[in-house]
């Protein structure tokens, strides 16, 4: 998959909980177009560190493995979808 959305979150994070159903909807609606990867920063701190994630939730869009956009904090679903669609092949 050429376009990926990395969702850095934690179980104890309130804004992450708010974003969870939105990310699940995006995963369903854009299935086959974008691969959504949920990364729990408590369990996968090495991956978070690799990407320089300092705050959660953080969302990173990768295009062919390269970061093209990053968002920190809760995002409106429509805004997030538009940002992802801008990077689809």
Q: Cite the active site residues.
A: 13, 16
Strand partners, 60: 6, 70
Contacts of 40 (CB under 8 A, 6+ apart): 9, 10, 11
Angle, CA of 25, 27 and 28, to the nearest 5°: 65
In whole angstroms, give the CA distance from residue 74 to residue 1: 25
């Amino acid at each position: 998959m050429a376009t990926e959305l990395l969702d850095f979150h934690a179980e104890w994070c309130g804004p992450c909980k708010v974003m969870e159903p939105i990310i699940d909807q995006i995963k369903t609606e854009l299935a086959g177009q974008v691969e959504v990867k949920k990364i729990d920063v408590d369990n996968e701190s090495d991956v978070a560190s690799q990407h320089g994630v300092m705050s959660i939730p953080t969302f990173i869009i990768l295009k062919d493995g390269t970061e093209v956009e990053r968002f920190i904090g809760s995002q409106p679903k429509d805004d997030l979808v538009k940002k992802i669609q801008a990077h689809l092949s």
